[in-house]
């Protein structure tokens, strides 16, 4: 029993639950203090948006949300497999012909790494489109902090969440400040870090660039890349939990239905997206990936 990889959960899970209970009790105790109540009154948890900020979410953002979730889930899965699987089921070598012809012989990589890099490329392409659209439609105003009061408001929102007396919010018109800072970090810091470190670890990085490789060694990229993955896992868990517990139908309509209502439209679109993601998860196996990978290279054991 003690040799099982799940044995650590015997003490980790209770310890986490005790820690969470302590945080809740501490937050609730703080809220009884007069100074803390005055702070919450002054900073309710939401920073005012600038004039001209858009209201609601356009249809393209729903598609972006689905594609981003689709890619990032599979990227995390394949990244974990690369880290933990000692003997890959198959390997892939790029065809050294056509536009991608190089002087040096292409390196053989695992089929899992090929799939991971392919997903990365699609995720980056989707991200570029996302950046272009948010800056041309004004949606960036809802993701970039505009005032210094965002920080005390974020602290206020965090205290309200921790005390289980959650802040009143309506993401259709404005995120609370803790959400705003989290989305900003995810979109403009964590995502670029994942790309830059992943690129440094890939075979596409120039090996002969001595000066830049000295300043930015691959070891540094590895040290950063894995914690960034853990950040995305944590973000997804918290994000999904809050969607489920702060008005499921309305939140799903915001993300998928393009409306600020409690109809079932967003739910069914979300359910369909889960079916697609589950299908991709099941299909992402060597027996199915070999034929796709063979279109651009040779697949061997």
Between residues 156 and 103, the one the model is more confident about: 156
The structure tokens listed for 24 are 């809740």
**Residue 269 counted as domain residue:** yes
Q: What is the pLDDT of residues 168-196, one digit of tens each?
A: 777 898 999 999 999 999 999 999 999 99
Q: What is the pLDDT of residues 120-157, one digit of tens each?
A: 999 999 999 999 999 999 999 999 999 999 999 999 99
pLDDT number for residue 224: 96
Is the predicted pLDDT of residue 86 greater than 90, yes or no? no
Alpha helices in 31-146 (DSSP H): 34-42, 59-84, 111-137
Sign of CA dihedral 201, 202, 205, 207: positive
pLDDT tier at 1, thresholds 50, 70, 90: low
SS3 4: coil
Of 85-89, 90-94, 138-142, which has the strongest mean pLDDT? Answer: 138-142
**Residue 57 counted as domain residue:** no
Measured distance CA(166)–CA(24) in Å, rounded: 12
**Residue 103 counted as domain residue:** no
Kindly report the pTM of this predicted structure: 0.91
Is the predicted pLDDT of residue 18 greater than 90, yes or no? no
pLDDT tier at 115, thresholds 50, 70, 90: very high
How many domains does the structure of the chain reveal? 1
Q: Using alpha carbons, list the distances in angstroms from residue 182 to 31, 131, 156, 275, 283.
A: 23, 17, 14, 28, 32
Domain coverage including residue 226: 63-89+113-295
**Residue 52 counted as domain residue:** no
**Residue 32 counted as domain residue:** no
**Residue 75 counted as domain residue:** yes
**Residue 169 counted as domain residue:** yes
pLDDT tier at 16, thresholds 50, 70, 90: confident
């Amino acid at each position: 029993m003690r040799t099982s990889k799940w044995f650590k959960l015997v003490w980790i899970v209770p310890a986490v639950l005790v820690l969470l209970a302590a945080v809740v009790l501490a937050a609730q105790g703080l809220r009884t203090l007069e100074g803390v109540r005055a702070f919450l009154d002054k900073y309710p948890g939401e920073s005012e948006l600038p004039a001209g900020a858009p209201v609601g979410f356009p249809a393209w953002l729903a598609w972006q949300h689905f594609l981003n979730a689709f890619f990032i889930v599979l990227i995390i899965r394949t990244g974990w497999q690369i880290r933990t699987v000692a003997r890959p089921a198959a390997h892939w070598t790029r065809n050294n012909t056509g536009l991608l012809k190089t002087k040096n012989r292409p390196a053989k990589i695992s089929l899992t790494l090929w799939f991971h890099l392919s997903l990365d490329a699609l995720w980056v392409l989707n991200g570029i489109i996302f950046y272009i659209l948010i800056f041309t439609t004004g949606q960036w105003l809802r993701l970039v902090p505009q005032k210094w009061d965002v920080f005390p408001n974020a602290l206020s929102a965090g205290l309200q969440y921790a005390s289980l007396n959650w802040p009143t919010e309506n993401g259709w018109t404005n995120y609370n400040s803790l959400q705003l800072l989290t989305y900003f970090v995810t979109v403009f810091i964590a995502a670029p870090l994942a790309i830059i470190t992943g690129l440094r670890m890939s075979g596409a990085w120039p090996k002969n660039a001595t000066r830049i490789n000295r300043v930015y060694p691959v070891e540094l990229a590895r040290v950063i890349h894995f914690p960034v993955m853990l950040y995305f896992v944590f973000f997804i868990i918290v994000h999904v939990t809050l969607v489920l517990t702060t008005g499921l139908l309305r939140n799903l309509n915001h993300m998928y239905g393009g409306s600020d209502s409690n109809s079932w439209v967003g739910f069914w679109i979300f359910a369909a997206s889960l079916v697609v993601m589950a299908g991709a998860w099941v299909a992402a196996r060597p027996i199915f990936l070999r034929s796709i990978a063979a279109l651009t290279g040779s697949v061997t054991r």
